[in-house]
């Protein structure tokens, strides 16, 4: 979303809190979508707000521990960069070889960790305050409808295609109806995810 949505949201929040009658004349801000720069040559990435189409909410932190990957009406700015995973603390090699997209929620909450990469802890949850866990590389896939899906990189040894883990290899970020939790491995072919929305 870059800075246009940030400016619109900031203006909306400021006017509605100080002059609610005046602000009521203008309605909600318009969300302007942009094509993400997905170049993998070092020029891609940037700062974005990620919008979950079905829930009409933004990617944020919340739910368990206040740092679980979630959706909310107020999103968190995410810095995307393509590259190698940062090695876990006190370890020389990253847990996941190769490169992928890294999502940093720099202004997101933290439970004592100094890093803010979105990472996977297991098959059911992702968090925004990676410390020494790893599993921070993601793929971004354009869908036929023009939207995007986000999934773990294929080369992830625990969760990617090479892992052979049936619970994760076809899963992408998704939200079940009535929930605000973003599941990192939502797959409509698995029980409990039949109605999950992944765009």
User: Same domain for 10 and 58?
Assistant: no
Assign 1 a pLDDT band (cuts: 50, 70, 90). Answer: very low
Contact criterion met (CB below 8 Å) for 35 and 41: no
Looking at the fold, whether 168 and 126 belong to one and the same domain comes out as: yes
Shared domain check, 115 and 156: yes
Tell me the per-residue pLDDT of 23-39, one tens digit each, with 9 for 90 and over. 456 666 677 788 999 99
Residues 91 and 179 both lie in one domain? yes
Are residues 51 and 30 both part of a single domain?
Answer: no
Residue range of the domain that includes 101: 38-186
Strongest mean pLDDT among 2-16, 51-65, 102-116? 51-65
Average pLDDT rounded to a whole number, residues 98-104:
95
161 shares a domain with 73: yes
Beta bridge partners of residue 151, listed in sequence order:
139
Does residue 198 fall inside a structural domain?
Answer: no
Residue 191 falls within a domain, yes or no? no
- Cα gap 77→46, rounded to integer Å: 10
Q: Looking at the structure, tell me whether residues 16 and 102 fall in a common domain.
A: no
- Kindly report the CATH number assigned to the domain that includes residue 114: 2.80.10.50
Question: Is 168 inside any structural domain?
Answer: yes
Query: How many domains is the chain built from?
Result: 2
Q: Which tokens belong to 49?
A: 């707000």
> Which of 49, 61, 44 has the alpha carbon at shortest distance from 4?
49
pTM (2 d.p.):
0.81
Same domain, 18 and 46: no
């Amino acid at each position: 979303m870059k800075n246009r949505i940030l400016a619109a949201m900031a203006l909306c929040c400021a006017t509605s809190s100080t002059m609610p009658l005046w602000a009521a004349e203008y309605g909600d801000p318009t969300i302007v979508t942009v094509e993400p720069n997905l170049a993998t040559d070092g020029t891609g990435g940037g700062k974005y707000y990620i919008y979950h189409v079905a829930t009409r909410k933004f990617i944020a932190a919340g739910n368990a521990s206040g740092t679980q990957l979630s959706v909310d009406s107020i999103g968190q700015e995410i810095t995307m960069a393509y590259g190698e995973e940062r090695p876990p603390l006190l370890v020389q090699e990253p847990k996941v070889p190769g490169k992928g997209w890294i999502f940093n929620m720099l202004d997101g909450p933290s439970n004592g960790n100094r890093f803010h990469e979105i990472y996977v802890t297991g098959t059911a949850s992702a968090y925004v305050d990676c410390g020494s866990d790893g599993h921070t590389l993601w793929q971004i896939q354009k869908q036929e409808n023009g939207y995007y899906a986000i999934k773990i990189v294929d080369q992830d040894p625990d969760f990617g295609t090479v892992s052979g883990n049936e619970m994760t290899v076809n899963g992408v970020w998704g939200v079940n109806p009535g929930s605000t939790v973003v599941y990192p491995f939502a797959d409509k072919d698995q029980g409990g995810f039949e109605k999950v929305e992944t765009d």
